[in-house]
Structure 1
């Protein structure tokens, strides 16, 4: 769960609901939409309770239970000091896979009988998540029919657009006495009851909402995973790691594996990304490897099942390419957005190879590497061909007019820029991706040697990796500032802004030892390190902005990869300082790291300044404390 401003959020099995602090849904859109969501569609856009003709007073605002799928609040009708409320309403709301339930308990406060008159206004707009984002996009939706129907025990709300159909049903016990249609609205309904309360007695109302998205017959439910005991001492980092594991349980969703069976993988985050994301799910799974290697196996299987097979310019699909994200919403179905299966990422494919070997290395289990051998070879082929290694010497991308301008982890439109703020133009070769490619080639060579018994292929990959490393050190290194460029633009010019991506190069091992240590120490200087975390851009540069998504904010997962890189280069003090800053930030957020923090210095405020559009919970941020523990363990500081 999370409490975002005036909202309460419940999550379970690819379903989430965001409610007001009184348990209502108002139909908000923009940065913090409320409603019941499944498969990228809003299945409840209105859920408003009134008692005795008015909105009730909130005595105790909604609070979530520890498991994250139940909230409770206490409401009353109007009252005064001399005429206190006649009864109280104890409201409990619970979420399971595709189902939202509410239990209302009315408790009389008076010695004579009382009648509670209550009404519930209900609607479902079935809006696609991409419609609700505040980015000024508008989508034509011809021939849409929304309707509402009264049933024996409640109502049924339906949505139809051609072959696309979705439904929300509301079942009530007891059934409503009256169902009223809202004038001029296609589907809105108000359900009414009169409940008699005997003196100091109780009455109950049970409501069940079932979301039935298009094409869905069954919503798989993930088993609750027993969280490992991480440490004997109850320190802040352990608490943050334990909270991260709890959040990852909430974010676990079902996907189809390479054998056609359900596997359970980490979704990227809420509200916008409760779906399989190539890069996010891979890095999250890598951070989890020492604790939950089965997550890596599931993620690899799901991504192998969606690996590109053909060329499709609209979605970016190419043979061997690993998917960026998958969507099951209406707009994706009608190809009004390219995200049904969207392949616009340059880094998911090498990261797939990195995780495949890392899983084998961590577990000693050869079976997954054997099963996915052909998928791995196809991923290498993509890197050499469509990915650009053969033709450009590097993995490159060009801006996608249908989807993402930038296709590395810093994927906002202005993220890849020169020190004067000018955006780079493609084909763009981003620095950290070359490190991923180098590591992918080295690791796949090891699989070829150790598991596939193909030394010829292994030698070829080692040779490709060595030549890539030589080119990288020649073309990306900026001697004047003793630091690697963020990228090379389409003309081969160094994109010279100082960026945190350099820390990923320590993790992948593409830098030599001496340069790696110099870069690692540079990242802990005050213009980069805020005291909480390393900023995406060093402060003092023209494009730096502490509230920019990728040009001055600080991302926990970015710092987690950097921490692992610092540990790889034996930078003990730097690992300690970075871990202390992130752990202190987590402690001030109730031990839950958000997706991204503002870049303001630690000396400015007692707590980190939040980034206003951050997802929470978010998978790779949740897994970051585990990466910090691994890094500290590698340098002997844990």
Structure 2
């Protein structure tokens, strides 16, 4: 999604691939709406070269340095913990042995940090545990470089705007920047009480504490830009109250899944809270931003996939995603943005570099798959909710997306959806594997021309089927018949053109000369969830993906180890992506391959137990699992990341064969099975219309018993 400077030197084009960067995995992350904080365990920020630390807002770093010194020495961190709900970071420290005149471990320093709207709040408390009076100096250092997120990521800039001279008063300091986009950005730091000394880069407090006496300092760090209406920071306690209110409202609607296996329950809780963290409330509804730190913004494909993963439990996410993407749908041909009428957004950015078009991602449409996935999600949302009124509002956008698939998506009229960038500095590859080296032939040679990737054809098939159902329910019967005909034709053509008998899988892509890329990849697994594969071929694909060549023991690799471009440390050519595995499992479940689903579940569950606090990252390396060894981290993977967090929800759906039909008000479990690590599973507070249901599954494998609440009020639960 973002530029790799190493790749750019060779190709002149951006890529998702990144050079390996040493990363401190102990960094802490907080987010709310369009602002997020990345800091070290102490709560400090040291934004050196290649570091993603900072306080960010709208794609810009508004605070690049923050430090706390006691008598000139950094305190020792005793504990650092982001609360389960991701709402605050609490740090406990004490003074170092070399801390000036103080005896070691005599002063407790605690920091309570949280983000609300455009402000980072920090309450610093000091308590004297010595038997004598304590006198010391506390220095709070700060700075702001106003770097664009793309620049931090490695995209060089030839010019910058001008940093303003700091303006400071008794209890506040203002750090500003005049951008080349003619916009002013500025950071305001407010201290309560006012420091004894305040200069442009440091606030100094004299601390005078009797035995067991406490004192506290409140710091508010607010981000502003001239194009937005300025809103001052709230009092700290009021901001905390508003966060608590939002959390309580979320908890009322949460579907809770638990098990006697406590590790699974913790994995679910972490994933649910991470989804809440990434969900941003836009005027159009909820939108799950893609990931922190690099992708804290709406991405079309990521938002749609996340919404699909959690659709059975929270359809409000799908409604918000659909509404936003319909509002931002392209209406004109804009080659420098890869925009075409009816096409769905790839990503949008609000930083200075985007405004100056130093890269094309201000509003960029270089995704070949977001458009069919948009239609597919619209159909799935209607099936889940029966919300025909919203579908009626959405129909013009759905119709435009279907028209794009036929006209622009299939420019050569061969029945397949292809991509070829128009933007000179846009993405070369525009499927979900969008790094420069992601699509290739069996000999390792790059695929050229307009490319038709296999999973996109499956998405298109699902979109045509979904469009036909929506058309029928809206009374557009001619559209229904035509879309059904197109779907049947695509299914036949796809199975003829993409199947590789000798590989027992579908090929990765057709190149511009219609030559098949005979590569074993996870893309073929994603073919399954829309139903385009024949049952016999679906099983063969599933079998292939669980061979040692493809399945690492932690999950299914993006390409097989036999591939000439296989590299377990690459972004798309040998790594393991949780969301990819989740969608593959959903496809396996569609064909009744429950034992295959269980293996995918077990691999990802096992990997989650090794990651910090059960948080699955965006991706991890594809090295084979070995006894006593943990999965290997990919160094710059986003964590938290929306579609990785939501992978557990679609895995639960796949294991249970779960389908929630809001039209007929029926829940069905088709071939439900529990993986070996679970003996029971309980689903609570699952809402269908006005009815809330709780049900449990107990047993081993497919020998399970279903129990549910006795009063369903017109809602039926059926097992097949």
Query: Normalising by the residue count of structure 2, what TM-score does the alignment of the two structures yield?
Result: 0.83
CA contact (8 A) 2:258 2:268 kept: no
Q: Deviations over 1:52-74 (max 9, x none)?
A: 1x222314142222222322223
Map of 2:273 onto structure 1: 246
Residue 420 of structure 1, CA deviation: 2.1
Contact 1:323/1:348 (<8 A) preserved: yes
Whole-Å separation in 2 of the counterparts to 1:118 and 1:496? 64
Question: Whole-Å Cα distance in 1 between the matches of residues 260 and 631 of structure 2?
Answer: 25
Q: Is the 8 A contact 1:269 1:617 kept in 2?
A: yes
Deviation at 1:430, TM superposition (A): 0.4
Alignment partner for residue 555 of structure 2, among 533, 546, 549?
533
Compute the displacement of 1:195 (Å): 2.4
| Distance in 2 of aligned mates of 1:247 and 1:59 | 25
Query: Structure 1: how far apart are the matches of 2:306 and 2:90?
Result: 31
Say if 2:225 is the partner of 1:206.
no
Aligned partners of 1:84, 1:123: CA distance in 2, in Å? 29
1:583 matched to 2:629? The reply is no
Mark the CA change 1:322 to 1:431 in structure 2 (over 3 Å): closer, same or farther.
same
Correspondence 1:133-144 to 2 at 5 A:
133-134=153-154, 137-144=155-162
User: What pairs up with 1:364-403 in 2 under 5 angstroms?
Assistant: 364-388=386-410, 391-399=413-421, 400-403=423-426
**Structure 2 counterparts to residues 232-631 of structure 1, below 5 A:** 233-234=260-261, 236-257=263-284, 263-388=285-410, 391-399=413-421, 400-450=423-473, 452-589=474-611, 590-603=613-626, 605-631=628-654
Tell me which of 68, 79, 82 is aligned to 2:97. Answer: 79
Q: Which residue of 1 aligns with 2:12?
A: none
**Cα distance between partner residues in 1 of 2:334 and 2:162:** 28
Contact 2:467–2:483 (CA under 8 A) maintained in structure 1: yes
Equivalent pair of 1:442/1:465 in contact (CA under 8 Å): yes
- The question of 1:128 aligning with 2:148 is answered yes
**Structure 1's 438 and 80: CA in aligned 2 closer, same or farther, altered over 3 A?**
closer
Aligned equivalents of 2:656, 2:379: Cα separation in 1: 21
Q: Which residue does 2:20 correspond to in 1?
A: none
Unaligned runs of 5+ in 2: 1-22, 232-241, 658-670, 675-720
Residues 143 and 620 of structure 1: CA distance in aligned 2, closer, same or farther (over 3 Å): closer
For 1:164-201, what per-residue CA distance to the aligned partner results, in whole angstroms no more than 9, with x for missing partners?
111110110111222234xxxxxxx1111212223432
Deviation by residue 1:348-401 (Cα, 9 ceiling, x = unmatched): 000000000001111112112111010000001111111126634311111453
Question: Following the alignment from structure 1 to structure 2, what is the Cα–Cα distance between the partners of residues 239 and 73?
Answer: 22
Aligned-partner Cα distance in 1 for 2:165–2:322:
41
| CA pair 80-48 structure 1, distance change in 2 beyond 3 A | closer
- Counterpart of 2:186 in structure 1 is 167
Which residue of structure 2 aligns with residue 197 of structure 1? 209
Over aligned residues, Cα RMSD in angstroms? 2.1
Question: Is this contact kept in 2: 1:384–1:390, CA < 8 A?
Answer: no
Q: Quote the Cα distance in structure 2 between the aligned partners of 1:84 and 1:36.
A: 31
Any stretches of 5+ residues in structure 1 without a counterpart? 182-188, 258-262
Label 1:232 to 1:109 Cα distance change in 2 as closer, same or farther (>3 A): closer
- What's the secondary structure of 2:165's corresponding residue? strand
Task: Determine the structure 1 residue equivalent to 2:673.
Answer: 637
Contact kept? 1:575, 1:631, Cα under 8 Å = yes
Deviations 1:21-74 (A, max 9, x none): 2221111342x510101111111101111221x222314142222222322223
The equivalent residue for 1:177 is: 196
Rounded Cα–Cα distance in structure 2 between residues aligned with 1:63 and 1:238 = 19
Q: Contact 1:477–1:483 at 8 Å: present in 2 too?
A: yes
**Which whole-Å CA distance do the structure 2 matches of 1:421 and 1:146 have between them?**
51
Residue range with higher mean Cα deviation, 156-165 or 280-289? 156-165
Would you say the 8 A contact 2:264–2:605 is kept in 1?
A: yes
CA separation of 1:626 and 1:218: change in aligned 2, threshold 3 A? farther
Greater shift in the superposed pair: 311-320 or 372-381? 311-320
- Contact 1:38–1:213 (Cα < 8 Å) also in 2: no
Distance 2:424 2:263 in 1: 44
For the residue of structure 1 that corresponds to 2:558, the secondary structure is coil
Conserved in 2, the CA contact under 8 Å of 1:237 and 1:625? no
